[in-house]
A and B are shown apart, each in its own frame.
Chain A
Amino acid sequence: MQKVTREALIEKAASLLANGTVTSVLAWKKGEFDYDITPALFTGEEEMHAELVWNDFCGANLSKYLVAKTKKAEGKILVFLKSCDTYSFNQLLTEHRFDREKVYAVGIPCCGMADIDKVKAISGDGIASIECAEKIKVSTIYSEGAAEMDLNDVLLERCESCKSKKHVAYDELMGEEGEILDSHRFDEVERLEAMTPDERFAFWQEELSKCIRCNACRNVCPACTCEVCVFNNPASGVESKAPVNDFEEKMFHIIRAFHVAGRCTDCGECSRVCPQNIPLHLLNRKFIKDMNECYGEYQAGETVGQRAPLVDYTLDDLEAGEVFERGGDNA
């Protein structure tokens, strides 16, 4: 797949700004470090030349930011969407979370994004600068010269198991359109399913014990756009600032996964941002896999206006207890 260059993005944005189609541009800029790329709103061309970033670390899914930004913006916002981001975009539209008229969506091809932890594993800590070209060149404060690596060797897990290079929503597409891929995204879920309950318990105990309740997963999640989160709402009965007991984190993650079940597009942002590297996407994928198997294939965000499995039913759905029997014994 041909990469679209940063310059092409800026040129596109500048021309749309100039002809009045949009009044602002939602894209990415550098944060504290070269690999720490964050969403940013631009209104002028110079600003974009100075700050706009488009490289192998632009994992952030911009769809979610439209909810807040469109409420404030006067005119249209241009947003750059990678193929996986377009699913979130549609899902948010299904839920009426922003006004489609206020957005000009430009689809951009994506070859996958880099996982900074994998980069560090090669380069070592203390990254001073990163250059993204044919190869990713990383120099650290501890070593002379730069470590070089292929993007394909340091892909984020979610990009390794990319479900779709196809954009399901856009006003305009840059570069060539990709296809829905036969990803192996459920392999890891299946591996866990094949374990004994004790092994699974041990696995999750290990993983979830790392949780520090920083809420990064929730804050980045494009399905978590609630005006007030239940975990911040005293009337919900599950509000918590500090955990009461050890179960609290567990409950947080189950409830969060349940809340986004049927709405989660499997964009993988939760795992990408987790500072503790908990594979949170596995919880979401477990729900997706179960729903696919029990109620028929469903991809949230594929089109606008879909009815998700949990707000639907058929008269002969399987019983709650039967969910374990489908497809042989997985215990």
Chain B
Amino acid sequence: MKVTYFPGCTLKNKAKDLDRYARECAEILGITLEEAENWQCCGGVFTTAGDEIATKLSSVRVLKAAKEKGEALVTVCSACHNVVKQTNYAMQNDRSFADKVNRYMADEEPYNGETQIYHYLELLRDVVGFDKLREKVVNPLKGKKIGAYYGCLLLRPGKVMGLDDPENPTVMEELIRALGAEPVVFANRNECCGGYVFAENPELAKKKSTAVLSNAKANGADMVITACPLCKYNLQKSASDVPVVYFTELLAEALGVKESCNE
């Protein structure tokens, strides 16, 4: 299966490993991530106002590109996923917004949210299947107790994202189990890390990140995984000593390609 892949700007820079591991692992699982041509930055956050058009056009462009190829669109970064998915939802459900966008992009064929979007985790769960993934694991992560940190962007708004139960998600826990490790459920896994506010108010961000990791630690996690570069950044800057890694790194390790990715 071939899918259109939207890496986003961070994965091309600071989060290169998130990207590398994701591509390599997908190949092993029989999926080719083909990077979209000429993609533009998603903007990092989705502006909920219906009259904000310009900031959402980059998402619409990549969605259209996938539609033209007749492929699904895959994202790895939580923020990109949130922006693209929310934009697509608005294109499907907010007529006046969609009309404005389509008018703005007048030279092209109208787009009404036809593209199927997967977060990489959904790809693993719904397309590959965790049972199949388990079979491909060569290096089971036995004995590791891992907390899955979802943050906000993957899950909320639940009605739009539809990735999982926004209050009681299970996808990453299932992933951890499939990789042979033991998931640690902790309540703060869907609480905010502080997000972009660190730029204004680093103390607030630190407070939030510390609360997340201390809750993970209190529930016995040796390590926390995330899909979001900003979450990872905030969590790592907090006062906790729990290591934070991208979920794709864990995946690569279990599939035995971590070393080759780093060559």
Whether A and B touch directly in their complex, counting CB atoms under 8 A apart, is answered as no
Query: Which A residues form the contact surface with B (CB < 8 A)?
Result: none
* Chain B interfacial positions (CB closer than 8 Å to A): none
